[in-house]
Amino acid sequence: MIKPHLRNGAAFSGMTIGLLGGSFNPAHDGHLAMSLYALKQLGLDQIWWLVSPQNPLKSSADMAALDRRMLSATRFAAHPRLIVTALENALGTRYTADTLRQLKRRFPHVRFVWLMGFDNLRQIPHWQDWQDIFRLVPVAVFRRPNYPAGRGIGQAAIRFGKAWKSPAQSKKMARTSKTLLPAWTILDNKLNYTSATKIRKDDPSWHQSRRSPL
């Protein structure tokens, strides 16, 4: 399996690739379940898990070291088309919009789709250049527990309401190069109740290791 790096963009030419960004602090079966659903529902060739060096909106106090979070993600990404990466660390980007700009420049013949939970759809107006994210790539949103997935809820949903696509249109949205942006959808995935916050609460030692156990 070829892993993406900053100089092998040609190896992925023609692919449609989902991008699932996050702290993965730690990774868990919810990340895997959402990814497997997106692979099928959106017709993706691969999904790259972008393990963030540090989420600008989260405290570093309970954040495990990047190498440990990479190891956690690798253990859960148990599928040949799920690729764990530290591309944001290599790019030196902190904000999603900047990461997308860089990836589109370095992988010019790849069609990227941004994947995120409904909780992040509600929070995205706090992200740097958040409206540019919708203008750079199609966006697919996973349903999450405790977040009613009405598409008119929240500033982002209202701002880009006219660009919404039904789940039945999601594969065409993701794979068709002629899709006009912005374009986004809410997927009809099964709810997963696993929580990284609860995992850390149940295992306080998770973030205390500053080095990978490898």
Contact 173, 183 (CB under 8 A): yes
214 within a domain of the structure (yes/no) = no
213 within a domain of the structure (yes/no) = no
Contacts of 128 (CB under 8 A, 6+ apart): 56, 94, 95, 96, 97, 98
CATH number, residue 201: 3.40.50.620
1 within a domain of the structure (yes/no) = no
Would the pLDDT of 204 be above 70? no
Would the pLDDT of 213 be above 50? no
- pLDDT score for 38: 97
- pLDDT score for 214: 27
**Domains of the chain: total:** 1
**Could you say which DSSP state residue 182 is in?**
S
β-pair type (16-22, 46-51): parallel
184 within a domain of the structure (yes/no) = yes
197 within a domain of the structure (yes/no) = yes
- Token representation of residue 168: 């039945």
Q: pLDDT class for 149, splitting at 50, 70, 90?
A: low
Concatenating the DSSP letter of every residue in 125-138 gives GGSTTHHHHHHHS-
For residue 207, give the 3-state DSSP assignment. Answer: helix
Q: pLDDT class for 151, splitting at 50, 70, 90?
A: low
Q: How far apart are CA 65 and CA 102, in angstroms?
A: 24
Average pLDDT, the chain: 89
Q: How far apart are CA 181 and CA 184, in angstroms?
A: 9
pLDDT tens, residue by residue, 33-64: 999 999 999 999 999 999 999 777 676 677 88
- 4: nearest Cα among 88, 113, 101, 93: 88
Strand partners for 165? 185
Q: pLDDT class for 150, splitting at 50, 70, 90?
A: low
Cβ count near 135 (within 10 Å): 14
Name the phi and psi angles at 31, rounded to 5. Answer: -60, -40
4 within a domain of the structure (yes/no) = no
Mean pLDDT of 124-144: 96
Q: How far apart are CA 184 and CA 139, in angstroms?
A: 5
For residue 188, give the 3-state DSSP assignment. Answer: coil
203 within a domain of the structure (yes/no) = yes
- Token representation of residue 161: 């309401």
State pTM to two decimals: 0.90
80 within a domain of the structure (yes/no) = yes
Q: Which domain holds residue 102?
A: 9-208
